[in-house]
Amino acid sequence: MKLSRVWTQLVLIAVLTLSAAPLHAQTASPSLAGNYLPSVLAKSPAHRDSLMAMIKGKPGLPFWVRALVRQPRYVALASEEVKVKDKRMQLFRACEPRSCEASFIRVLFSEDGKRALLYVSDAKLGIKIFGDPTPEELFFLTR
């Protein structure tokens, strides 16, 4: 009888431990990798606002870059999570359709999306960097 009660208690502990595991997994930080720029800009006001504030009114940008939010007609790769001085950041790459080698961008966002940095490379308009990146951030924008 005593062995049966110990066994029941062990089973109960195991069930409680296993049922608590999914709750812990849900509280983990969301992944910054595997996301797409059009989707993030559509769903996150912080990302959208920080990027648009940075490029609004800036001359010499390719049309497709000025229209990133309004008309998401560009090729976007899945985001990559990078660590800059122990801070999680999200790196996006995108380019103009059929002209990826000639016109592309890299966008680096802080984890909360409130800080954006932008690297624009265009064969006709040149290279432009926005957002005053640190040397460590610049490394990820230009690689």
Model confidence at 7: pLDDT above 90: no
22 sits in which H/E element: helix 2-26
Closest by Cα among 85, 34, 37, 40 to 64: 37
| pLDDT (mean) for 8-27 | 46
Whole-number CA gyration radius for the chain: 22
Write out the two tokens for 133. Answer: 């990146």
Q: In this predicted model, what pLDDT tens digit does every residue of 86-123 receive, in sequence order?
A: 999 999 999 999 999 999 999 999 999 999 999 999 99
Domain-wise residue ranges, the chain: 29-142
pLDDT the model gives residue 4: 55
Q: Judging by beta carbons within 10 Å of its beta carbon (0-12, 13-18, 19+), is residue 137 exposed, middle or buried?
A: buried
pLDDT the model gives residue 25: 44
pLDDT the model gives residue 28: 53
Q: Indicate the pLDDT class of residue 17, thresholds 50, 70 and 90.
A: very low
Query: Which 8-state DSSP code applies to residue 93?
Result: E
Its CATH architecture, for the domain 29-142, is 3-Layer(aba) Sandwich (3.40)
Pick 7 or 85 by higher pLDDT. Answer: 85
Write out the two tokens for 27. Answer: 């509280």
Q: In this predicted model, what pLDDT tens digit does every residue of 39-90 receive, in sequence order?
A: 999 999 999 999 999 999 898 899 999 998 888 899 999 999 999 999 999 9
